Structures are given as structure tokens and as C-alpha cells.
Structure 1
């Protein structure tokens, strides 16, 4: 899979593009719009980028988790090397290792909430100028469908490619939407 970016100025046009992409078999979890007005996106039934994805919380949280694992391992290694567990037992040191791990992961995520997603920083000026970014995650066999739809909308400016959402996220969101649609 790969992600295609397009810049548009008119939400009605983006709504038409989203509808046409869905008619071509590209599901809603594969289509997102990045904008400075989520309320306007909702009025036009456009699928916005989730707030959590607009920040760098996931990337920073993973960095924090990695540092936390290193810190927890350091606690265990020092405990072993110093022989402290033989006198006091392992319980306080395992608890300390878990606290170090949890704190570092939490702190990484907390810092990430304060930063914009690195993948979207290049669109800051576009968003400030009240334009919108259409993100479409597609597989190789959906490439021609995307080209067909975009070809009918010359007002959309291609803005490059990037790393897509993980496939399991798209599949999971599709299954959740289907479960909600069927409902009790």
C-alpha cells in the first residue's frame, strides 16, 4: 500500500471525490481529509484525520516505550549485579522496573501530543491558507481506480506520496464499521 496526497480548495469537490472513490471500492478508512475545520468536514460528510493522528503521540510514545524498556532492563541488570534481590527480594525491583517502563512510555506519549505529526508538517502552510489535504491509502490493484477518479477532478493538485496507515488499522476500521452497520 501507499498513500497519495492531493490538495483541494473546495469541500464540495472533495465530497464528490470521496463518494466516487467509495463507488470504485476504496473504503472510507482509506480516505481522510486534513483540514483546519473539522466542523466543516462533518457538514460535508468527509472523513477527517483523527485528532490523535494529527499529533506525534504514537511515534513519541514508541520512542518512550523503547527508552522505558532500556531503563527497566537497566534496573534488573543493576539489581542482579549488585545482588540486592538476594537480601530484599525481587518484588520492589520488578515494581521499579515497571514504573520506569510505564513512566517513560507515558512521558513519550505526553510529549508527542504537543507536537504535530511529522508526516503532516509539510502541509502546515496549506492548512493555514484554508485549503485541504486529501489522503488516500491504496493498494497496487486500486491504483487505476484512483487515477480514474482524480482524472475527473483536475482542480485537485497532487502533493506527493507517503507511508500509509498500517493495513491492520484499515481492516479493523472496515470491520468495525460493518459491525456497527449491521447493529443489533
Structure 2
């Protein structure tokens, strides 16, 4: 338990997080559990707004792990992208290809929103093969423009607003990722599938 109304489930990695998140959301929709928020992260799922966290904790401890292979696929969003990022040439060198090769390979990958954090609407996208992972910048930029398409470590992302950041920039999109007048405000939700398409 992490509070009077919350339980934090710790698991091994993204696949397990995604499976538990999907299972808990399904159980809530069926009325089998009560929770205000179910929030996935890199290796945890927070279940908040629980009437009886002790009972929830006992239920989770006795529950079998949900099968990662039986998850329903999330909605697919295509992100129109202009590939002119400041780090495109650097990424090409790290990938042992040309900038055009980076664009081609990046478009082939189907990413998935693992969790959101850092800033409203900022989604961490998984799916990048290990050989294509690139380190964060040694020194973060003071400001990264809104809509910047970026890579860092095992993740891809799109900056929903201008902010400091140390991710390597591939390009940019005009897609609005966060809008308070939209329900939900965040375009990318956990489980959403994402593909990038050259504009």
C-alpha cells in the first residue's frame, strides 16, 4: 500500500505493466474492482481511489499474472512527421545508416504507449529494438519545441509542449497531443499504438 486509498503493484517490465493495466481496467469496467485511477509506469501500476486497499492488496497477491499475449490491441494513431530534427544525422551515424535510412526504419516500427509522465500529454512509447536505442544528450537542451519527435534510451516520444529536454530529435509534427478541451485531454493513452509517417 502507498496510502490510505492506494496500492502500488510492482512488476518486472513493460509487458507485465501493460498486461496488468489492461486487466485492471477491464475489471473496473466490469464492476469487479473500484478505483478512481489506474496509472501505469515503467515497472509499476498505481491503483488509487480504492475503498479498501487491504482487500485490494490481498486480491492482487492471490491473483494469477494476466497473460501478456491476450491483451486487446489499442487504437492506432498515425503521426505525420517532418524528419528534420537537429539530431537526425547523429542518429543516422549511431544506426550505421543515412538520414533517409533512419526515416525509413523509424516508420516501420509500431510503437505502443507504455505510460505517460514528465509533462501533461508526454507519452513514453515502447517498441524500439535494442540495436536502435540511443543515449540521452550529455547536456539537456534549454527548450525543445512543441511537437518534437524524439528518441532516448529504449523510448520514443513526441513533446506535447515546449520544455527542456535531453532526448535526441528526429523531427516534428503538428499533431496536438494535449488539449484541455478534449476528453481525455491526452491524445496518447496507455496501450495506444503509434506509427510515424513522413509528411
TM-score (ref. length: structure 2): 0.24
The higher radius of gyration belongs to 1
Larger RCO, structures 1/2 (Cα 8 Å, 6+ apart):
1
Structure with more of its chain in helix, by fraction: 1
Structure with more of its chain in strand, by fraction: 2
